[in-house]
Amino acid sequence: MNLPFRYLPEGLQDADAVMRWCVEEPLWQHEHIQMFGRTVVVPRMVAWYGDAGVRYRYSGVQHCADGWPNPLWELKVELARLVDADWNFVLLNRYRDGRDWMGWHRDDEKAMNGVVASVSLGATRGFRLEVGDERYKLDLEHGSVVVFDGRLRHTLTRTRRPVGERFNLTFRCIDASAGHAHA
Ligand SMILES: O=C(O)CCC(=O)C(=O)O
């Protein structure tokens, strides 16, 4: 069967070390975005890195990258070997517990090339991907990588189950020449 994603359950060599880094180092932010004409605080925390000067704009907010700290650079190199692709930006999401989530959406900004390599660290959480009438459900485990076309509708679901913290790192390729990628 031809699936619209590739799931590598134990894709990463040193998931524990990257997770420790995620707890300690990034400057995690509460993000405010525009939705249906209103400003809302997103139910998770975010951070981002990438090639210096690369800008990724979504939901009315500009995100400008300023380089790759280790271990993210090493992780990017590892992923490029696993999946035959390369990225110039990574968006980090921190889901503090089961109440943090991400609603159905598409990452279909003009500047974004479709292929996303999405790394999961920490608690297992439910991910859904929709292609036409089909819905696919994946439980994303610690140290896993899922590769998919970010332009497909997808969501990270909420849960009432007591779950620990989870980090998600989506490696993306932003086209710097697409007009609206720059401020
Ligand atoms: O946390 C996840 O696994 C999903 C993240 C996501 O959908 C996104 O960053 O666009």
For residue 181, pLDDT over 60 is answered with no
Is residue 1 pLDDT above 80, yes or no?
Answer: no
Give the pLDDT confidence score for residue 46 in this predicted structure.
98
Sign of the C-alpha dihedral computed for residues 82, 86, 92 and 98 taken in this order = negative
State in Å: Cα 155 to ligand 1 middle: 7
Mean pLDDT of the chain: 93
Would you list the DSSP string of 95-161? Answer: E-STT--EEEE----TTEEEEEEEEEEES-EEEEEEETTEEEEEEEPTTEEEEEETTSEEEE---SS
> 44 C-alpha vs ligand 1 centroid, how far in Å?
11
Q: Residue 97 pLDDT > 80, yes or no? A: yes
Distance 53 CA to ligand 1 centre (A): 23
Residue-level pLDDT at 131: 96
* Ligand 1: residue whose CA is nearest its atom 10: 107
Q: Can you give the pLDDT at residue 178?
A: 59
Select from 2.60.120.590, 3.30.540.10, 1.10.3470.10, 2.60.40.420 the CATH code of 5-178: 2.60.120.590
Spatial separation of the C-alpha atoms in residues 139 and 125, rounded to whole Å? 6
Averaged pLDDT for residues 138-144: 98
What mean pLDDT comes out for the span 140-152? 97
What is the domain partition of the chain in residue ranges? 5-178
Q: How confident is the model at residue 179 (pLDDT cuts 50, 70, 90)?
A: very low
What mean pLDDT is predicted for residues 11-34?
A: 94
Q: For position 128, what pLDDT does the model report?
A: 98
At 30-86, the pLDDT tens digits run 999 888 889 999 999 999 999 999 999 988 889 999 999 999 999 999 999 999 899
